[in-house]
Amino acid sequence: MKQAAPTTIDQAEVDRFSAMAAEWWDPQGKFRPLHKFNPVRLTYIRNHVAAHFDRDPKSDKPLSGLRILDIGCGGGLLCEPMARMGADVLGADASRTNVEVAAIHAEQSGVSVTYEAVTSEELAARGERFDVVLNMEVVEHVADVDLFLGSCAEMVKPGGLMFVATINRTLKARALAIIGAEYILRWLPRGTHQYEKLVRPEEIEAPLAASGMNVIDRTGVFYNPLQDQWSMSRDMDVNYMMLMERPQKA
Amino acid sequence: MTTENLDVLVCGAGYVGLSAAVAIKLAAPSLAIAVIDAAPPEVWRKDQRAAAIAAGAKRMLTTLDVWQTIEPEAQPINEMIVTDSRTSDPVRPVFLTFGGEIEDGEPFAHMVPNVSIVKALRDKASAIGMPIYQSAAASALDLAEHAARVETADGRRFSAKLVVAADGVRSMLRDMAGIRTQHWGYDQSGIVTTVAHERPHNGRAEEHFLPSGPFAILPLTGNRSSLVWTERTRDAERLVKEDDFVFEAELERRFGHHLGALSLEGGRRAFPLGLTLAREFVRPRLALAGDAAHGIHPVAGQGLNLGFKDVAALAETVVEANRLGLDIGSMAVLERYQIWRRFDTVRMGVTSDVLTRMFSNDIAPLRLIRDFGLGLVDRMPAMKRYFIDQAAGIPDESGPRLLRGEAI
């Protein structure tokens, strides 16, 4: 890997996820929380994309004709549903192992997704453009948040959308998402999230505003341990999602 | 041999399997769905039983556009009475009466012959182009990671993202998947038969708790009623084999004379009562529904309605997951169905179990307690309302949409 140009890749993080790659698709395995969370974030994405591009969310292929980038795609947990909903999907991840696991799974599932081991800077430099960029559960794992978000924003077409989901850097998040999830409930391997790397909403909005993006929605996501269910909430102190739009040029 | 590739393969063409297939197909027309059934063609027409369709299930059938076909054969239950007595008591004290409406003009249940339900669902399946293969018993099941494979005894092969086992209380698929069951037997059997009577029943259902078990008179269209008559298994088997004269005499002793002279219609059969619960309702790529998940004996008439509740929950889970592009046969999706249904099923099973044990005996103190209890309930409108709402089976906001009469 060349290190000359500034990069957003944190090699230790890439290695950590590569080691768990085989488990991406086990709903009872290390990524169980992500499987439980998936319907909630998919609903959020689908409903907003459908409303924005004037589609019927209950139709068969509500995302058909849309080009979507899933940056930090991991094992492809978002890419496959997006492709099934009709989108033309590129799944990108800095970990070659992840991308390989994802590609094999998609082929076996009979879903058409393009996967590439590539960084957002490289994609942006190539001039790639997308209707929707998904940036889900990634910013807390990159080395340079501003540079990363800037390169993602660059790839959003005018009139296109970008989704960001992550964990807030608050004491509540430290208690619930790190100590609770990794040390007490043991849902996630220890070290999955580091407090210092968590990102506050304003730290996402600032670089994106500078890239010409407007925030059009934000929501908290709340986990109820008694019901073992995730749901939307106004409380953005722990998990949250944001939706940004690049305005159409006049 | 060619393999037919499907999204959903439903095993069992009873009302549970058929309504599951129809409900999913109507809401998600792009999914490829087929139904296989072990019985030879036309055998389904021989079912002489009738069932009480609760208001929630009726709302679902209306939404699926099949109730309209069933309605001419459906008898609304306008009123229900419960008595507790010895067979020889000349007058059976009525402990509990229920008015039959949950809302204006919506009875809490209808009595419908099973054949009418199945026929309406088969007609609907055929209208939407859904194949139903008869004489196609599942002979092999392989729940592989990306698709389930099913082979049938008549040489068909299917590959499906999701297999729905609606193949009854002795489900072959459940056994092939290695899902174990818990069974409680009661050494009781329900004799099921139909009688014609001289005078109209006026839509009144009667449940008499006799010492040998409940004796239910359920109104059918015309001057006819469907009976569920519970006896110890040995006695039940003896009774169904007796000649008509003896059977009719025994029947009249229990039925009473309030509806005039009785005559038997069609045959009679005894079904052993028991409670069979599957330990799991789902496996990767497999979901159990109806009696395959929970065979509950008919004391409270909830077997069919539990089956329809499964269908409503499973169809909604599958359709919503499909609309999100999720893999409809994955555990991440099927877990939701299991959580949704298990609690309700276990509660219903326990209720039926307690009812059976409490009411099928002639022990004086127990009888006093239960009569006191029934009499108490009769004087408490809120309590009655609760029972009627439970029997009507219309869920609140957290329940499946089809049971509230809304499309998925």
List pLDDT tens digits, range B176-185: 999 999 888 7
Cβ of B324 and A108 within 8 Å? no
Tally the domains of chain B.
Answer: 1
From start to end of B106-257, where are the E strands?
A: 106-107, 109-113, 132-133, 138-143, 148-152, 157-165, 181-197, 204-210, 213-220, 224-232
Q: What is the CATH number of the domain that holds B320?
A: 3.50.50.60
CA angle (B64, B18, B399) in 5-degree steps: 55
Which residues are within 8 A (CB) of A41 and not within 5 positions of it... i.e. 6 or more apart?
A78, A136, A165, A221, A241
Residue B280 has pLDDT above 50, yes or no: yes
Domain of B49 in residue numbering reads as 4-396
Residue B58 lies in a domain: yes
Q: Is A116 exposed, middle or buried (0-12, 13-18, 19+ CB in 10 A)?
A: middle
Give residue-wise pLDDT tens across range B326-365.
999 999 999 999 988 877 776 666 665 666 665 565 555 5
pLDDT band, residue A46 (cuts 50/70/90): very high
Q: What is the pLDDT of residue B165?
A: 98
- Are residues B398 and B112 in contact, defined by beta-carbon separation less than 8 angstroms? no
Q: What is the pLDDT of residue A6?
A: 65
Residue B407 lies in a domain: no
| Comparison of pLDDT for A226 and B251, the residue scoring more | B251
Cβ of B146 and A109 within 8 Å? yes
Cβ of B326 and A43 within 8 Å? no
Question: By the CB < 8 Å criterion, does A80 face chain B?
Answer: yes
Measured between beta carbons, which residues in chain B are less than 8 angstroms from residue A43?
324
Among A58, A85, A228, beta carbon nearest to B325: A85
CA distance B322 to chain A (A): 8
Question: By the CB < 8 Å criterion, does B160 face chain A?
Answer: no
Question: By the CB < 8 Å criterion, does B324 face chain A?
Answer: yes
Question: By the CB < 8 Å criterion, does A108 face chain B?
Answer: yes
Q: Cβ–Cβ contacts within 10 Å for residue B47, how many?
A: 15
- Are residues B292 and B167 in contact, defined by beta-carbon separation less than 8 angstroms? yes
Residue B345 lies in a domain: yes
- Are residues B14 and B166 in contact, defined by beta-carbon separation less than 8 angstroms? yes
Residue B386 lies in a domain: yes
Among A35, A80, A228, beta carbon nearest to B325: A80
Question: By the CB < 8 Å criterion, does A38 face chain B?
Answer: yes
pLDDT band, residue B220 (cuts 50/70/90): very high
Q: What is the pLDDT of residue A225?
A: 72
Residue A1 has pLDDT above 60, yes or no: no
Query: What's chain B's length in residues?
Result: 408
CA-wise closest residue to B74 among B56, B90, B54:
B54
Half-sphere exposure of B341 (CA within 13 A, CB side): 31
- Are residues B93 and B83 in contact, defined by beta-carbon separation less than 8 angstroms? yes
Cβ of B326 and A81 within 8 Å? yes
Residue A36 has pLDDT above 60, yes or no: yes
* Tokens found for residue A146: 């501003």
Rounded to two decimals, the pTM is 0.88
Q: Residue B329 and residue B286: Cα distance in Å, rounded? A: 7
Half-sphere exposure of B321 (CA within 13 A, CB side): 26
Give residue-wise pLDDT tens across range A92-124.
999 999 999 999 999 988 999 999 999 999 999
Measured between beta carbons, which residues in chain B are less than 8 angstroms from residue A36?
332
Measured between beta carbons, which residues in chain A are less than 8 angstroms from residue B339?
228
Question: By the CB < 8 Å criterion, does B343 face chain A?
Answer: no
Measured between beta carbons, which residues in chain B are less than 8 angstroms from residue A50?
none
* Tokens found for residue B81: 């009475």
Measured between beta carbons, which residues in chain A are less than 8 angstroms from residue B332?
27, 35-36, 38
Cβ of B324 and A39 within 8 Å? yes
Cα–Cα separations (whole angstroms), residue B324 to A58, A146, B103: 9, 31, 36
CA angle (A66, A71, A73) in 5-degree steps: 100
Cβ of B29 and A60 within 8 Å? yes
CA distance B204 to chain A (A): 41
Which residues are within 8 A (CB) of A57 and not within 5 positions of it... i.e. 6 or more apart?
A46, A47, A50, A51, B323
Residue A127 has pLDDT above 80, yes or no: yes
Measured between beta carbons, which residues in chain B are less than 8 angstroms from residue A57?
323
Question: By the CB < 8 Å criterion, does A70 face chain B?
Answer: no
Residue B406 lies in a domain: no
Residue B220 lies in a domain: yes
* Tokens found for residue B205: 């259902």
CA-wise closest residue to B332 among A192, A37, A182:
A37
Q: Best residue in A24, A25, A230 to probe B by mutation, most B CBs within 10 Å?
A: A25
Residue B258, φ and ψ in degrees, nearest 5? -65, -20
Q: Residue B98 and residue A102: Cα distance in Å, rounded? A: 59
Cβ of B332 and A109 within 8 Å? no
| Comparison of pLDDT for A212 and A32, the residue scoring more | A212
Q: What is the pLDDT of residue B104?
A: 67
Among A42, A108, A228, beta carbon nearest to B324: A42
Residue B401 lies in a domain: no
Helix/strand/coil for B112: strand
Residue B92 lies in a domain: yes
Q: What is the pLDDT of residue A2?
A: 41
CA distance A64 to chain B (A): 12
For the complex shown, is ipTM > 0.95?
Answer: no
Query: Strand A239-245 relative to strand A156-167: parallel, antiparallel, unpaired?
Result: antiparallel
* Tokens found for residue A224: 């109820």
Q: For residue A61, give the chain B residue with the closest CA.
A: B323
Give residue-wise pLDDT tens across range A169-214.
888 888 777 777 777 777 777 778 888 888 999 999 999 999 999 9
Q: In angstroms, what is the C-alpha Rg of chain A?
A: 17
Q: Residue B83 and residue B100: Cα distance in Å, rounded? A: 17
Q: In angstroms, what is the C-alpha Rg of chain B?
A: 21
Between helix B114-127 and helix B15-27 the angle, nearest 10°, is: 30
